[in-house]
Amino acid sequence: MNAALQVLSPLVPVREVNFLRFCKQHAEGVWAVVDLSIENLGGPPFPTCRRLPSGCVVQDMPNGYSKVTWVEHIEYDESVIHQLYRPLISAGMGFGAHRWVATLQRQCECLAILMSSTSPATDHHTAITAGGRRSMLKLAQRMTNNFCAGVCASSVHKWNKLRTENVDDDVQVMTRKSVDDPGEPPGIVLSAATSVWLPVTPQRVFDFLRDERLRSEWDILSNGGPMQEMAHIAKGQDHGNCVSLLRAG
């Protein structure tokens, strides 16, 4: 198998790994999944990242839930990572086991909502059918995938890095051709990304960006005024994990 693992920053290179995956049921209701990197199968001759024995143990619980124990064991070249991110990556904030578990939990919550016959949404303004809710969630997932693909370049997405003298090294500018991509007109797509340090907590930045009343302070699509939330669809237990349909005033 092969995978491209990324942190949402151009300052941390994408980790492209080739690995073997072994799955086995150890006992009744207990499964193990183990990954191990392998070399020289279409990857770079001198990889900057190797996935040593890593994986998870999934145990069936009496209440219908699953207990997941995750172990992540990585060997990587720290010199290719920007100084700003080295402490975060070494602490496991980017690729650590708890990130895998959190991603798995969010995905399970989202799938449960997609398969639910009742709506967990808080639709104050617009009634949305179950089919409409699924369509909005799938559209939001496609938007998320396109955003993540535009932050870092990998072999999965055909981006070309631009080298210009007027752009700092911590800014990544890329282009790609759009031909038959859903929701995109044909032509050249330009993506520019960078990372900055802010003297506030991540939660405060997140709350600022998702508050529709403050969109006019940073979003050009707001037309200079507050936006109105037409629909709100929960994607999980956390109130910030949601999809909103906004309308400019």
pLDDT of residue 126: 59
In angstroms, rounded to a whole number, what is the distance separating the alpha carbons of residues 119 and 134?
10
* Rg of the chain over all Cα atoms, to the nearest angstrom: 21
Q: Which 8-state DSSP code applies to residue 213?
A: G
Q: In the chain, what are the domain boundaries?
A: 1-115
Contact 2, 47 (CB under 8 A): no
Contact 140, 160 (CB under 8 A): no
| pLDDT tens-place values along the chain, 249 residues long | 888 888 888 889 888 888 999 999 999 999 999 999 987 555 555 567 888 999 999 999 999 899 999 999 988 889 989 999 999 999 888 899 999 999 999 888 888 877 776 655 455 555 677 788 888 888 888 888 888 888 877 666 678 888 777 777 788 888 888 887 777 788 888 888 899 999 999 999 999 999 998 999 999 888 888 888 888 888 888 888 899 988 887
Which pTM does this prediction carry? 0.75
Cα 185 to the chain's mean position, in Å?
24
> Which CATH fold would you assign to the domain 1-115?
Alpha-D-Glucose-1,6-Bisphosphate; Chain A, domain 4 (3.30.530)
Residue 225: which residues within 8 A CB-CB, separation 6 or more? 216, 248, 249
In angstroms, rounded to a whole number, what is the distance separating the alpha carbons of residues 237 and 249?
30
- Give tens-digit pLDDT for 91-145: 888 899 999 999 999 888 888 877 776 655 455 555 677 788 888 888 888 888 8
